[in-house]
Amino acid sequence: MIKEFKEFAMRGNVLDMAVGIIIGAAFGQIVNSFVQDILMPPIGRLLGHVDFSNLFVSLSGVHYDTIAAAKAAGAATLNYGLFLNTVINFLIVAFAVFLLVRQVNRFAPKPAPAAAPATRDCPYCLSAVPAKATKCPHCTSELRPA
pLDDT tens for the chain, 146 residues: list them: 888 877 776 776 777 788 888 888 888 888 888 887 888 788 878 877 777 778 899 998 889 988 889 999 999 999 998 898 888 888 888 888 888 888 888 887 888 787 778 899 999 899 999 988 888 998 988 888 76
Instruction: Provide the pLDDT for residue 78.
Output: 93
Q: Which residues contact 91 (CB under 8 A, 6 or more apart)?
A: none
Alpha-carbon distances of 95 from 10, 42, 58, 98, rounded to whole Å: 32, 21, 33, 5
Instruction: Provide the pLDDT for residue 12.
Output: 65
Distance from the Cα of residue 86 to its chain's centroid: 18
Instruction: Provide the pLDDT for residue 54.
Output: 82
Instruction: Provide the pLDDT for residue 76.
Output: 92
Alpha-carbon distances of 89 from 25, 37, 140, 144, rounded to whole Å: 13, 12, 73, 65
For the chain, list the domains and their CATH numbers.
Answer: 2-107 (1.10.1200.120), 117-146 (no CATH)
